[in-house]
């Protein structure tokens, strides 16, 4: 095997003669880093991995500067799943679940998350701009739920193929772009336009059917160039340079301090008295932030003197 598969990167590709674009992504070391401090049961780990690669592909398919959050929230045993990706493709994720209620082995989205919603939120870096799309969770796989999201919120026909296991996560996305308007002239041949539109729709169907033949282990194991060569040798494709994807947690001592200040002096002093120190673990990366008596006193001195909240971000 000379053709090693791509690692921790995202590739964009375009169909030269069709209004279709695509993405291919693989995360290996970055996925291991994301999992490093957390033990997830297999079914939860699989859907978390699918959500993580999907969040990167979503972030890469929209023009924005900030953070994209993909959230699943439901009544099921896995009641919350979050995957967050920045426009620079730094990603983190977590899942919360009641382990005694989880199904054994692999499970569908319904079995894990139950009735609930899939929400995609885009926030600009300065938090001044926010866009949110919500769809009910439908379909057994996350890819199907996301396709419904694209259909309703973005109105761009989009298909996703996702693979996740303990060693790595991979994904492919294909998106049909709006047909370029040919002419606004009144004597435009309507019949010809319809023919062209029908041909493009047939091409989109053909491309999806071919993509459906990609096996999960091929998506996982083959180099991107090889995947595209095997699937779309009949079409002219342009493969762009790869972009690195990495695990990145946004937690910081400043953010934890601000959270403790919001909790209030009385509550935090109570924890301090009981445990001798206040330890907060980041939900995403499990990093521990420890505050001793001196740190806690400082938190609230700063807050009451009015310096605390403004100077944090
Ligand atoms: Zn963290």
Higher pLDDT, 310 or 103: 103
For residue 77, report the distance from its CA to the centre of ligand 1, in Å: 24
Percent of the chain with pLDDT over 90: 76
Distance 248 CA to ligand 1 centre (A): 8
Q: What is the dihedral of CA 81, 71, 150, 135, to 10 degrees?
A: 100
- pTM score: 0.88
Distance 82 CA to ligand 1 centre (A): 13
Residue 188 above 80 pLDDT? no
Residue 12 Cα to ligand 1 middle (Å): 29
| Ligand 1: centre distance to CA 45 (Å) | 18
Number of Cα atoms under 13 Å in the Cβ half of residue 155:
2
- Residue 6 CA to ligand 1 center (angstroms) comes to 27
Take residue 120 and report the two structure tokens written for it: 């995609």
Mean pLDDT for 64-83 is 95
Residue 85 Cα to ligand 1 middle (Å): 13
Domains of the chain and any CATH numbers: 9-179+192-247 (3.55.30.10), 253-304 (3.90.1280.10)
Q: What DSSP line would sit under 83-108, residue for residue?
A: EEEETT-EEEEEEE--GGGPPSSS--
Distance 67 CA to ligand 1 centre (A): 15
**For residue 284, how far is its CA from the centre of ligand 1 (angstroms)?**
5
Cα of 146 from ligand 1 centre, angstroms: 26
pLDDT for 186 equals 64
Q: How far is the CA of 299 from the centre of ligand 1 (A)?
A: 20
- Give the pairing of strands 130-136 and 288-291: unpaired
Residue 311 has pLDDT above 60, yes or no: no
Which single residue is written with the structure tokens 């609230």?
300
């Amino acid at each position: 095997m000379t053709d090693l598969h791509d690692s921790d990167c995202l590739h964009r590709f375009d169909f030269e003669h069709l209004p279709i674009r695509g993405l291919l992504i693989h995360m290996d070391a970055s996925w291991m880093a994301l999992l490093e401090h957390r033990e997830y049961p297999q079914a939860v780990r699989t859907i978390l991995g699918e959500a993580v690669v999907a969040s990167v592909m979503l972030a890469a398919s929209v023009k924005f500067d900030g953070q994209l959050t993909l959230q699943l929230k439901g009544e099921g045993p896995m009641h919350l799943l979050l995957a967050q990706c920045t426009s620079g493709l730094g990603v983190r994720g977590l899942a919360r679940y009641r382990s005694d209620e989880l199904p054994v082995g692999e499970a569908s989205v319904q079995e894990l998350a139950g009735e609930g919603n899939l929400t995609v939120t885009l926030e600009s870096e300065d938090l001044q701009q926010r866009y949110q799309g919500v769809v009910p969770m439908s379909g057994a796989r996350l890819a199907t739920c996301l396709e419904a999201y694209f259909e309703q919120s973005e109105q761009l026909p989009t298909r996703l193929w996702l693979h996740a296991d303990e060693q790595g996560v991979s994904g492919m996305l294909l998106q049909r772009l709006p047909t370029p308007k040919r002419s606004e002239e009144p004597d435009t041949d309507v019949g010809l336009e319809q023919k062209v539109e029908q041909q493009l729709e047939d091409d989109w169907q053909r491309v999806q059917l071919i993509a459906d033949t990609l096996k999960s282990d091929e998506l996982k194991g083959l180099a991107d160039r090889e995947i595209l060569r095997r699937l779309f040798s009949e079409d002219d494709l342009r493969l762009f340079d790869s972009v690195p994807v990495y695990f990145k947690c946004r937690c910081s001592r400043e953010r934890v301090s601000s959270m403790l200040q919001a909790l209030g002096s009385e509550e935090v002093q109570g924890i301090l008295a009981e445990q001798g120190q206040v330890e907060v673990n980041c939900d995403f990366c499990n990093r521990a932030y420890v505050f001793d008596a001196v740190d806690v006193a400082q938190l609230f001195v700063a807050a009451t003197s009015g310096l605390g909240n403004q100077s944090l971000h």
